[in-house]
Structure 1
Amino acid sequence: MTAPLRLAVFDVDGTLMDSQEFIIEAMRRGFAAAGLAAPEDSRILSIVGLSLVEAVSALAPDLPPAEAERVAALYKRSFIDLRAEKGGEASAPLYPGAREALERLAARDEVFLGVATGKARRGLDHALRAHGLGHFFHTTHTADEHPSKPHPDMLLGAMRRTGVAAEAAVMIGDTTFDVAMARAAGMSAIGVAWGYHDAESLRQAGAAAVIDRFEDLDDALHALWQARGATA
C-alpha cells in the first residue's frame, strides 16, 4: 500500500540555523545608522521570524511607517555587510542534528520538505547555498514574497505547490509566529526548544509537540500524522 503524501515545512533562523549573532548585530547597526538606540538583545530575538518592517515596528512601535521602512533597509544593508565580513552565512552554524534530520526525511519518497522563513529570498538562497541544503526542499517561501508570519500564505503556498492536504502537513519552528501561522493554515505545528522563543510559549500558542533535539523529530512527526489520519 502506498503511503499518503506528507509535508514537513521548516523555519530557518532559530530552527535549522543559529543566526542570532548576525541578526542582533545587524539590528544594532541598523538602529545606530538611523540615530536610534538599539533594543535589548532579548527583544531583538523575540521578533525573529517576522518580516523586516513588521519586526522593526514591533521593536519601536512609535516609529512612523516611513522610518520603520528606513530602519529595515538599514538592517538589510548591515546584514549584507556582515555576511561579507564573516565569510558568508556558513559562519552561522546549523543546529546539532539538523542536517541528519533533513537527510532522514528526504530519503522518504512520500515526504515533501519545505521552508517558510522570515528571511528574504536573497538571504534564504545564501543560507541554503552556504550549508548545501537547497536540494532537500521541494518548496521554499520567503517574507518578501508573502505576507509576514503569522499570516498563513506561505504555508498555503507550500500545500498548493506539493498537493498535500493540511491534515498531512506540519510546520516545524521555534517561534509563536510559526505556531500561529500553522494553526491559521489548518496545519499542526511542532515547536523546537532550542530557538528564540521558550518552550512554554510555544505550547501556549498551540504547538502540538515541542522537541528538545532533532533526534526526536521523526517520532513527533509520526505521532502527529497518525493522530490526523495521515499514516499508511
Structure 2
Amino acid sequence: MNLVIFDVDGTLIDSQHMIVSAMERAFGAQSRPVPSRDRILSIVGLSLETAMGVLCPEEPDEIAVELASAYKAAFFELRHSPEHHEPMFPGAIEALDRLAEREDLVLGIATGKSQRGVRAILDLHDLHGRFATIQTADLHPSKPDPSMVLTACAEVGVLPQHAVMIGDTSYDMEMGRAAGASAIGVSWGYHAAESLKATGATALIRHFDELDAALANCFAETATA
C-alpha cells in the first residue's frame, strides 16, 4: 500500500484570489503596508503566524499573532461573500477520482489550512470521503517540519518511504523529504519550478494528466531501493 498526500492551496485549489484579498484586508485592518502579491503568494503553505513573521520579519511576535487573527477574520468574511472564489485546478477532481479507485493507494491531505478551512473546501467541492488522513496547520508545526507527513503515514499504516508528497511550494518538497517520503512538484502553483527542484522534487508535473506516470516512477524507485 502506498500513500499519496496532497497539499491544498496552489495544488488542488486555486485560492490565490482569496488569500491575497484576505491579506490585504488583514494588513489594512492593522494599518500596515500591504506586502506585494508575489510576497504574499511566496508564503502560501506556511502556518499563519509563521507566514506573518516572514512577511514582517522586523516586527515582534505579537504583531504576527494580531495579523494572523485579522487574516482569519477576513478570510471567514470572504468565504461567505459573493467574492468567494476557490476553484479546483483543471484535472484535479479527475485525478482524485482515478487514484481513489486504485486498491494499492490511499489518499491524504497535508495543508497550511486549518481544520475549518479544509472542511469548507471539502464541502465546496464535494470531496468528502476521498481522503483517509487529513493533517492541518492548527494541529502541527508549520511546514517544512515533517510532522504532518509522518502523522499521516502513521494514521494509515504506511512507512514514509512508501509515501509521496504532492505540492506546489518548496515547503512541501522539504517537508516530504524530511519525513523520508518522495516529493512531486506541480508547476501551476505559487513557487517556481526551479525552487521545487532545488528543494528535492523527485519529479515536476505540468498537468494532472502527468501525475499517474510520476507516481508510478516514484513507487518503482521505492520498490527497488
TM (norm. structure 1) is 0.95
Matched, 1:121 2:115: yes
Match of 1:138 in 2: 132
* Aligned mates of 2:99, 2:122 — CA distance in 1: 17
* Aligned mates of 1:147, 1:86 — CA distance in 2: 33
Report the Cα offset of residue 230 of structure 1: 7.5
Preserved contact between residue 176 and residue 205 of structure 1 (Cα < 8 Å): yes
* Aligned mates of 1:217, 1:99 — CA distance in 2: 12
Matched, 1:67 2:63: yes
Matched, 1:193 2:164: no
* Aligned mates of 2:196, 2:82 — CA distance in 1: 32
Match of 2:165 in 1: 171
SS class of match (1:99): helix
1:141-193 per-residue CA deviation (whole Å, 9 max, x = no partner) reads: 00001111000000001000111111210000000000000011000100000
Report the Cα offset of residue 87 of structure 1: 6.8
Preserved contact between residue 6 and residue 230 of structure 1 (Cα < 8 Å): no
When the two chains are superposed, the root-mean-square deviation of aligned CA atoms in Å is 1.2
Matched, 1:25 2:17: no
Runs of 4+ in 1 over 2 A off after TM superposition: none
- Residue ranges of structure 1 left out of the alignment (5+ in a row): none
Preserved contact between residue 167 and residue 229 of structure 1 (Cα < 8 Å): no
SS class of match (1:191): strand
SS class of match (2:198): helix
Report the Cα offset of residue 62 of structure 1: 1.0
Match of 2:37 in 1: 41
SS class of match (1:86): coil
1:62-102 per-residue CA deviation (whole Å, 9 max, x = no partner) reads: 111011100000000000010111375xx311000000000
* Aligned mates of 1:21, 1:29 — CA distance in 2: 12
TM (norm. structure 2) is 0.98
SS class of match (2:223): coil
Number of aligned positions between the proteins: 225
1:95-121 per-residue CA deviation (whole Å, 9 max, x = no partner) reads: 000000000100011201000000010
Report the Cα offset of residue 134 of structure 1: 1.9
Match of 2:87 in 1: 93
Q: CA, structure 1 residues 42+149, in 2 after alignment: closer, same or farther (shift >3 Å)?
A: same
Aligned AA for 1:160? A
Aligned AA for 1:115? I
Preserved contact between residue 193 and residue 211 of structure 1 (Cα < 8 Å): yes
Matched, 1:9 2:14: no
